[in-house]
Amino acid sequence: MDANRALLALIHSFGTRKDDSSVHEIIQLLIEIGSANPHRPCETIETRNGLVVLKHSQKKEMTERRSPLTAVARLAEESALRLMIDSYSHTLSCLKTSRRRDPYLRTQPESYFLVIEEKEDEDVFVGLENALVASLLCLRESAFESPEESAHASCALLLYKRFKSFTEAVNDSNATRRISQRGLEWLEHAVRRCNHLLPEPRPIASSNVLE
């Protein structure tokens, strides 16, 4: 969890360093070497006088928790968002392969690996879902009126596509986790509208983008 806190702290200092290429290198190192999971939430971080401070609460239920992925989605930093998703996807894939090839675990039944992998996939699902919801809320609040809003739309589209491909890749049978193709088309239309290429996107039949 310390690596997750470091990643979240880095994201919260992103506003003053987003043009620094070393930030992306640190993100990648924290995930691929430091074992940070950008999908998993930790205590919210705030900045005070330029310093990053963890917000603690003696009452656990009062402590706000946010994942690094959701934090960067709210900042509409598409390159960092893409890097987080891709780096963790690669790291998790390598971890699963390594675990199954571990000579000390070869005697374990298939169910042993499936239970662990289902929990890991659940973390990814929840992380992508929360980040997507946060991105869509930012997009809704922005009303498609500036370059910043276009950035939120691009992040939402990225998350939407990755969420869709992830649920298909893990053969998720839960219907509530399947992405509406019509919702995806609407969001693509919204992104183009932000770039002033198309008129206002038509509403989709369902009020929810997740079906």
Alpha carbons 202 and 184: distance in angstroms, whole number: 13
Alpha carbons 27 and 11: distance in angstroms, whole number: 9
> Which residues are CB-neighbours of 116 under 8 A, at least 6 positions away?
99
Which of 95 and 168 is assigned the larger pLDDT? 95
Q: What is the per-residue pLDDT for 157?
A: 85
Q: What is the per-residue pLDDT for 166?
A: 84
In this prediction the pTM is: 0.75
Nearest CA to 92 out of 67, 117, 58 is that of 117
Q: What is the per-residue pLDDT for 151?
A: 83
Alpha carbons 69 and 37: distance in angstroms, whole number: 9
Structure tokens at 137: 């809320």
